[in-house]
Amino acid sequence: MKVKITHYLDVVSSWCYWAEPAWAELKQRFAKAPVEFDWKIALLDETGMSKSRAQCDWFYRRSGSIVRSPFMLNSGWWEPQIIKECLAANCVAEAAKDFGVTDDRVCLALMEAAMRHGQKVGNWEISVAVAAKAAGLKPAALLKKARSAEIERRVRTTTGEFHALQVTQRPTFVLSSDIGDRAVFSAFWRLEPMVATVESMLADSAAYQSWKAHFGDPPAQ
């Protein structure tokens, strides 16, 4: 009996930032259940990036008011030269995995640095400094790993996986069970729908185990 949840995100996506509390609560709620949690980078491309700081502020006002945030996000991180994608911050987050940091510390630190404090995380050195401090890593080693062809290849591969889902919004959560059930939540930031789905998947998986205990494997024909 097992459920896996994969969280596709970009660390400079405001909706990914707003979804983080639900993601954290989901992991806490099912910490003792047979549920596996993973996150993967899904780079925002030019179609999903703001075209100006004024436009970025407009989107921040919209999302912030929808989630009833008591503060507005900071667009100070936005720079025209990274309009197509914010490769640096996302590669730094991915690279931290190779140093054993597979939790959310680095992603959260980069999100906070960019969207709360306006730090220019499109700059490799700035992103590395933020991540290294959050995870206790050596900046030079993290920078070398983050700028490697291997890390960019991984980031673009997981971005390709995201597009193969035929969704366009980050965050996207993919929930799957060991009996073949699957659910995709694209642009969801609320906790309740995912909790209900995980509980349903776990219940159905347990039911299949009960069936097998009583009746065994199906006849060959």
pLDDT of residue 127: 98
Q: Is the pLDDT of residue 1 over 80?
A: no
For 3-215, the fitting CATH number among 3.30.1370.110, 1.25.40.10, 3.40.50.2300, 3.40.30.10 is 3.40.30.10
Q: 51 or 210: which carries more pLDDT confidence?
A: 51
Q: pLDDT class for 209, splitting at 50, 70, 90?
A: confident
Contact 130, 76 (CB under 8 A): no
Candidates 83, 86, 73; CA nearest to 115 is 73
Strands 172-177 and 35-41: unpaired
Tokens coding 138: 């050596």
Query: What does the domain layout of the chain look like in residue ranges?
Result: 3-215
pLDDT digits (tens, 9 = 90+) for 24-34: 999 999 999 99
Quote the mean pLDDT of the chain: 95
Residues of the chain above pLDDT 90, percent: 88
Confidence of residue 168 (pLDDT cuts 50, 70, 90): very high
First to last CA, the chain: 26
Question: What is the structure's pLDDT at 155?
Answer: 98
* For residue 5, pLDDT beyond 70: yes
∠ CA 193-197-203, nearest 5°, is 150
6 pLDDT more than 90: yes
Report residue 81's pLDDT band, with 50, 70 and 90 as the boundaries: confident
Could you tell me which residue, 213 or 28, shows the higher pLDDT?
Answer: 28
